[in-house]
Amino acid sequence: MAEKIIYQSANISITTSKVGFGGTTYFLRNIASVRVTKSPNGLSLMLVLGGLTASMLGSCFLPDTWYVVLAGIGMILVSIKLGLYLHHLNFDTSSGSVQAYMGKPAELNHLKEQIEQAMVESQG
pLDDT digits (tens, 9 = 90+) for 45-93: 787 778 777 777 766 666 667 677 777 778 778 877 777 788 999 999 8
| pLDDT higher than threshold 80 for residue 33 | yes
Of 103 and 44, more confident: 103
Q: Detail the DSSP E strand segments found in 1-124.
A: 5-8, 12-15, 18-21, 24-27, 31-40, 85-93, 96-103
Q: What is the pLDDT of residue 67?
A: 72
Q: How confident is the model at residue 1 (pLDDT cuts 50, 70, 90)?
A: low
Of 71 and 19, more confident: 19
- Give the percent of the chain with pLDDT over 90: 44
Rounded to 5 degrees, what are φ and ψ at 64?
60, 35
Q: What is the mean pLDDT of residues 33-41?
A: 90
Q: What is the pLDDT of residue 63?
A: 65
Of 110 and 69, more confident: 110
Of 35 and 48, more confident: 35
Q: Calculate ∠ Cα 66-71-72, nearest 5°.
A: 100
Compute the distance between CA of residue 64 and CA of residue 84 in angstroms, rounded to an integer.
31
Q: What is the pLDDT of residue 70?
A: 74
Q: What is the pLDDT of residue 59?
A: 67
